[in-house]
Amino acid sequence: MKYRTKSLWIPGLVTGFLAMTSLSMFSHAGLPPRIIFVDSTTSLQLPIQWLFMLPLFGALGAYLSRRADGHRMTRVAAALSPSIVLLGMFLFSLVVSMFVDRNMHTRPLPFLFGPVTFNWVVLPGAALFLGALPFLRSSRMRDVGQASC
């Protein structure tokens, strides 16, 4: 198996699958999202239970990447894969709605894009990164330490 597949894609897919499956399960269980920000134009809602589960998934992604001898940035990318995918989807929808749709109602869209991105990309990304932190230390240092003893 190629290095990139086993150190980035498989851990990233596992992290993304678990994060999105748990979000779906919380939605189907009827657990309501909590309102964390209210403005005159929008209110941001975030499933708090899902946010507390994300460090476990980030840790799993970074651990799987570390076991496959992934570099530090590869571990971070594997752990943050759900946030990276959501950011890509948001940017794609922003470009499509602004330049392709040409709807007059999308003029304030860039101002609404910031809080929504913070809610669905930055906060979950921070939770995923928090879980990945213990696995970002170099695994080679551990191997060198065991060989010298």
**Is residue 109 scored above 80 in pLDDT?**
no
| Per-residue pLDDT tens digits for 32-60 | 777 666 666 666 777 888 999 999 999 99
Concatenating the DSSP letter of every residue in 38-93 gives E-SS-EEEE-HHHHHHHHHHHHHHHHHHHHTT--HHHHHHHHTHHHHHHHHHHHHH
The total number of structural domains that make up the chain: 1
Residue 146 CB contacts under 8 Å (≥ 6 apart), including other chains: none
In a domain? residue 26: yes
Share of the chain above pLDDT 70, in %: 79
Please give the residue range of the domain that contains residue 114: 3-30+45-139
The chain-wide mean pLDDT, for the chain, equals 84
- Here the tokens at position 121 are 């990309």
Beta bridge partners of 38: 43
In a domain? residue 10: yes
pTM for the complete prediction? Answer: 0.82
